[in-house]
Chains A and B, each alone.
Chain A
Amino acid sequence: MLKRYLMAAVTGLGMIASTVTAATLDDVQARGKLNCGVNTGLVGFAAPDANGEWAGFDVAVCRAVAAAVLNDASAVEFLPQTGKTRFTALASGEVDMLSRNTTWTFSRDVDLKFEFTGVNYYDGQGFMVNRDLGVSSAGDLDGATVCIQTGTTTELNLADFFRSNNISYEPVPIETNAEARQQYLAGSCDVYTTDASGLAATRATFENPDDHVLLPEIISKEPLGPLVRHGDNQWGDIVRWTLNALISAEELGVTSANIAELSAGTNNPEINRLLGSEGNLGEMLGLDADWAKRAISVAGNYGEIFDAYIGESTPIGLSRGLNAQWTDGGLLYAPPFR
């Protein structure tokens, strides 16, 4: 008797239990807001600006997706994540997507059950030291104290690099980029290591950026990109093709200035398919025909976003390098819109 009640109670409770639902698109549209996991603060990539609005290279991807899905680039809830919290936040459904300088690795893709939807920045791990130390190569760093953000791939690369070069070091684990900056400037570590783009962004915030040098060695491949959970392919496709739309737009010469004119129809069929005046690509994604046009209209194409937040005209001053279009000798190569 009692046992039966118990069983009924357990099953009853079990049924109430909610699980992460598969259709992220429906959730986002019902909520009217996109929950996007970003960095806790890395100038140029994701940081609140003077007005408290999130802005940056990674933030632009979130806004483009929000524009494509919700027709409102400001309908984004930015949830800052540290290197430690980001995967739990994504896996638990707290964020719909992560756009946070996250390196695409085998184990994150396969073992952690995430889906990387492309690469928005090809990066590599570098070292920054004070110019006074007179260090010109990472091989001279024997015995140095190295500040490192914990929970990142850089932590593992660092261990591998020093082990394979048979030199010693002392790691100082640090939680956020802001703390690392403080520790590095106080001289409690000799070297700060993270992705080269992150180093450039951090150095740009120093009082005297010229007192610090980035060493020539790049010790790893760090393809950074947005990611979503495994198992919801439609949502994964939306994020992947929004990023591809931004990249293709640059290749095809679609900019924020001429997009209104081009979307009326051109004699280039690929532009027409991209901007929705021809074909039904938007419908295939479960969106309307103008999705890509809205995504590109937010802050322009990939090149415009790059120049606005991290390009050579900004204090961060990164050159396109590997992140140029394949036609310019870079690695950006978006699959065709067909």
Chain B
Amino acid sequence: MVTETTPQSQSFKLSMLLNDTRYRSYTFQFFSLLILIVLIAYLGSNLIRNLAEAGLNISYSFLGEPAGYDINQRLIEYTSQSTHMRATIVGVLNTLLVAFLACFTATILGILGGVLRLSENWLVSKLMAVYVEAFRNVPVLIWIIIVFTIMTAVLPAPREFRGDEPSASLVLDAVAFTNRGVYVPSPEFQPQAIYVFFVLLASILAIFWYRNYAKNRLYATGTLLPTFWPSFAILVLPTVMAFYLLGKPISLDYPVLKGFNFSGGWTIRGSLIALWLALAIYTAAFIAENVRAGILAISKGQTEAAASLGLRPNRIMSLVILPQALRVIIPPLISQYLNITKNSSLAIAVGYMDVTGTLGGITLNQTGRAIEAILLLMLFYLLISLSISALMNIYNKSISLKER
């Protein structure tokens, strides 16, 4: 018979905090925390006292006052009479826009780069190696400036499109590449356009249905239906038919040279393009390495096993290797997304009005409220980074190895 040998509950002595391994770590952690609190309290009190001595205070009332300056790129309504708060929001949206575009592009480029670097083809793999090494070893600020300078110096100014024999012309008569940005046609919708969208939505649902059907059929009978071309046809044909049947309810507004600049269409400003491209190609080099690491982490036996089942190399990659590799790729990918978001604060180098440019730049300058503006800026970047982190962690959980 086994008797329970619970250790005699000793009375707690103060010395156990240091000598007993059960408590020692808590002691150290407690004191570290204490030191941290004291340090922060010291910095805070120092700040407040120094401000008081200089006759200044901390106040956020400036956020309600008219900003007085204009912002060229704004996703929401904004004039120089709007408040500093509104200017901040314009900046936040601009930051989110460039971060989203750059994350999206960097992911695609990164996956391509990582997979191609492992290619059997000597030239392709070496080219990708050169790309990765060249781009990740030069600071991103330099890349931003390089892209921007190339755009400003190489692309023609709008005035070169003028005259009877202009030295520059619109690409396909629709897109103007100028050193101020790219002017593209924008769609204009008539009321009937909504039906075209309904058709498009229905075709997308139909594609999902078709793919599901093909999969079920594959599992049931073992015959593989083609998916790519039918999906493509389902996507395009009904929408195009609807478009013509309804009498072309969607037209394009082309950019035309008017006065100093092109007007009409959409303007993608040079500063946005420079920042977007530079962040994307720079971060894609890191993501490519993550992807390569993820793929190499999957044992070669998996590839061979899949090949012995008769899968083609493309399918081995997409059905066997990548899903497993994602478990290795996603965690570092999160930090790359965070890097893109934070690096987008280099926008001022090309005059892109992100939140660092509005709140941390012009607003800070015009109001002189440096500490308030910087604290708010830190809070914003913290919030946005934590949100990206949280979202990506949820995704990571969904693809991680499910233990049953």
Contacts and interface: CB of A to CB of B under 8 A. Distances in A.
A188 B259 contact: no
Interface stretch (A62-70, A167-175, A258-266, A284-292): A167-175
Contacts of B152: 182-183, 186, 188
A17 interface: yes
Contact of B42 (A17, A84, A88, A229): A17
Given A14-B45, A188-B157, A84 B365 contact: yes
Contacts of A162: 70
B268 to A, nearest CB: 14
B171 interface: no
Contacts of A182: 152
Contacts of B54: 20, 91, 113, 229-231
A17 B55 CA distance: 18
A143 B257 CA distance: 11
A230 B53 CA distance: 11
B365 A143 contact: no
A150 interface: yes
Given A143-B263, A190-B260, A159 B68 contact: yes
A91 B152 CA distance: 36
A151 interface: yes
A41 interface: no
Contacts of A189: 180
Interface string A144-186: 1100001110011011101100000111111100000011001
Contacts of A10: 38, 41-42, 45
Nearest to A22: B53
Given A151-B361, A159-B80, A13 B53 contact: no
Given A145-B260, A188-B157, A87 B351 contact: no
14 contacts: A10-B45, A14-B45, A14-B49, A17-B46, A133-B260, A144-B261, A150-B348, A162-B70, A169-B70, A172-B72, A175-B349, A183-B152, A187-B160, A230-B55
Given A171-B70, A171-B72, 16 more contacts: A13-B42, A17-B42, A17-B49, A87-B368, A144-B259, A144-B261, A145-B180, A150-B357, A151-B361, A151-B362, A155-B69, A155-B362, A174-B351, A175-B348, A186-B153, A231-B54
Interface of A: 6, 9-10, 13-14, 17, 19-20, 83-84, 87-88, 91, 107-108, 111-113, 132-133, 141-145, 150-152, 155-156, 158-160, 162-163, 169-175, 182-183, 186-190, 229-231
